[in-house]
Amino acid sequence: MKSLTAIFVVLVALMQYPLWFGKGSWLRVWSLNHQIETQKKINADNQVRNNVLNAEVGDLKQGFSAIEERARNELGMIKQDEIFFQVTNHEKDKKETEASSNSQAKH
In order of 31, 74, 76, 98, the CA distances from 93 in angstroms are 56, 23, 20, 9
Helices (H), the chain: 2-21, 26-62, 64-75, 90-106
pLDDT in tens, 10-46: 888 888 877 777 777 888 888 999 999 999 999 999 9
Q: Which amino acid is at 65?
A: S
Q: What is the pTM of this model?
A: 0.47
Q: Is the pLDDT of residue 106 over 70?
A: no
pLDDT in tens, 63-100: 777 778 778 888 878 888 888 777 777 777 677 777 66
pLDDT score for 107: 54
Q: Which amino acid is at 88?
A: T
Packed helices 26-62 and 64-75: angle between N→C axes, nearest 10 degrees? 100
Q: Which amino acid is at 29?
A: V
Cβ proximity of 19 and 26 under 8 Å? yes
